Structure 1
C-alpha cells in the first residue's frame, strides 16, 4: 500500500442525510493518508442523499431499501476490500489526523483487532485531533470485561480488522440501539481493543436517533446482556454484579432524565431478576467509581 493511502475501507451508513453527508465525506476524503476506498450505503433515503454521495469522485454508492443502521453497515462491510474497516456516521465528521493516528497505533499494537478514540460535540472550535505532549496520545488497552461494563467509544471513532468483522458476523439488527456495543464485545473476544485517549471525531447528538432514546437503549441492552450471560467468560457472580450495575445506572439515568416511572420499573425488574443481593457489591465496585469519575470529569470541564 502506498504511503499516501491507508489500507482502510470507510463505511458510511446514510439515511435522509442530504444535509450532513457532504461534511462527513469531505472529512474522510481529506485525511492524510487518505482511505483506500469510501463506501456510502444509502439506506432507503427519500431525499438527495445518494446524489450528494455521487457528487464526490471515487465514492462507491450502494442503495438499498430502508433496513436500519446495522443492516446498512453490514452491506458496507460485505463490499469492503481492505484489511481494515472504519465507520463514519453520515452526521459526524472526522478530525484531521484521525486515520494517521490510528495507522500509527496499528504499528504499535499489531495484535489489536479494534482501534477507537474519543469524540467531541459538533460546534467546537477544534478541527484537528490535538497534538499531545510527547507527540503520542495516551492509549488504553481494553478487554472483554472492560467493554462489558460500559460502551466506551462511539461508532465513528472505530476501525476494525475486516477479518474480525467477518468472524463476528457484523452488526446485529435485533439489538439496534445497542448494536455497536454488542459488536465491540464480540470483537473483544478475538483480541485486544485499543482506545486512543484523544478526540478523533466531532459528532452530532440526535435525540430521535437509534442511540438517543434512553428507553430503547435500556431494552436493547437487556437483550444483549441476556445473550452475554450464555457467552460470557466471567463467573456467574461477577456477571450478576455487572448486570446489577447496569440496572442501577439506568435507574439513575431515568431519574436524571425525569422519567421516574421508568426508574421504578427498572428497580422492579432488578428485583424480579433476583439481583437485589448483588446491589451492595455492584454499587461499591461499579456505580461509585463511575459516579466519582463523572464528577472529576465535570470539575475538569471534560
Structure 2
C-alpha cells in the first residue's frame, strides 16, 4: 500500500463497476460520489470500510475530484475513474518520480483499454513527444491528459484551482494542463506507468457529449488563448455543433471576467501541438 499517494475516484451511479475496480487499487482511496441514487455510496462503504466515501449530494462532474484532493493527506494524488485502476507498481514509480523532480507537477501514465490491453491513442500521441522534453525532466512534456491516468502534486493542483466547475465534464483537462504549465510546473508522460481502463460507452448520450465537448473547447480558448486562436476554435466548434454556441453565449460574461493569457512559452508549445 503506497503511503505517499491517495487515489481519488469520482463516480455517479456506477456501483457495479466500483465493485470490480476498487479491489485493484494499491493506495488509500477517497471515493467522491456525485449524487448517486443507486445506493452505491452505502453499498461501497459497507463492502469497503477502508475507503473514505464523500457524498456530495449533487453532480459536480469532474470538479468532484477537487474535493477528494482537498481531503487527501498525502503529497501526491492519483486520479482514477470508476472503470479504471493503476497497474501494480505504477503508483510507487510515480511517487518516486515526483520525489526526485521538484518541478514535476503532473505525471501521465500509459493507458491500456479493455481486457485486450489496446493502447489508447492519447498515449501514443504523448509518446511521440511533439513538444520535446525539458532538460532534466523525466519524460516528454504534455499539455493535455486523460484524467483517469495522472498523478498530481497536491500543492500544485490546489494552487491553480483544480478542475474548473463550469466545464463540468468532457475536455476539462485542457484548462488545468495550461494553468499548471503557466505556473511553471512540468507535466510529463512516462510509459512505464500503466493504467487499465474498461470503458462501457453504451447508454451514453453522444449528442449531449458532443455539445458539451464543443462548449468546453470554446470556453477554454476564451479563457486562455489569443484572439486568433479563439476565432479559429469558435469557427471549428460551431461547425461541429451549432447548438453549443448558445451555451457559450450564456457563459460569455463569466469567461471574460476570468480570461487570463498564457505565458509565451506555453502558448508556443500549444501552437506546436496544433501543428503536430
TM-score (norm 1): 0.65
Match of 1:274 in 2: none
Structure 1: unaligned runs, 5 residues or longer? 127-137, 230-235, 252-261, 269-283, 291-302
Relative to structure 1, the CA distance from residue 214 to residue 264 in structure 2 (aligned partners, 3 Å threshold; closer, same or farther) is: closer
State the 1:286 CA deviation.
5.9
State the 1:66 CA deviation.
1.9
Match of 2:165 in 1: 173
Cα contact 2:8–2:32 (8 A) shared by 1:
yes
Secondary structure at the counterpart of residue 114 of structure 1: strand
State the 1:122 CA deviation.
1.6
Secondary structure at the counterpart of residue 141 of structure 2: strand
Q: Does 1:69 align with 2:57?
A: no
Cα contact 1:43–1:68 (8 A) shared by 2:
yes
Match of 2:103 in 1: 111
Deviation by residue 1:39-58 (Cα, 9 ceiling, x = unmatched) = 11122111132112441242
Q: How far apart, CA to CA, are the structure 1 residues paired with 2:72 and 2:241?
A: 45
Relative to structure 1, the CA distance from residue 124 to residue 107 in structure 2 (aligned partners, 3 Å threshold; closer, same or farther) is: same
Match of 1:200 among 194, 199, 207: 194
Alignment of 1:97-246 (within 5 A): 97-124=89-116, 139-142=139-142, 147=143, 151=144, 153-176=145-168, 177-190=170-183, 191-198=185-192, 200-203=194-197, 204=199, 206=201, 208=204, 213-229=209-225, 236=226, 240-241=228-229, 244=232
Q: Does 1:18 align with 2:15?
A: yes
Alignment of 1:17-96 (within 5 A): 17-28=14-25, 31=26, 35=27, 37-50=28-41, 51-96=43-88
Rg larger in structure:
1
Match of 2:4 among 2, 7, 14: 7
Cα contact 1:83–1:161 (8 A) shared by 2:
yes
State the 1:242 CA deviation.
8.0
Cα contact 2:217–2:233 (8 A) shared by 1:
no
Match of 1:296 in 2: none
Relative to structure 1, the CA distance from residue 265 to residue 14 in structure 2 (aligned partners, 3 Å threshold; closer, same or farther) is: closer
Q: How far apart, CA to CA, are the structure 1 residues paired with 2:180 and 2:194?
A: 21
Cα contact 2:214–2:240 (8 A) shared by 1:
no
Q: How far apart, CA to CA, are the structure 2 residues paired with 1:199 and 1:41?
A: 24
Count, aligned residues: 226
State the 1:263 CA deviation.
3.7
Deviation by residue 1:4-30 (Cα, 9 ceiling, x = unmatched) = 6331121111110111112321121xx
TM-score (norm 2): 0.70
Q: Which runs of 4+ in 1 moved over 4 A?
A: 209-212, 245-248, 284-287
Secondary structure at the counterpart of residue 110 of structure 2: strand
Cα contact 2:9–2:31 (8 A) shared by 1:
yes
Match of 2:129 in 1: none
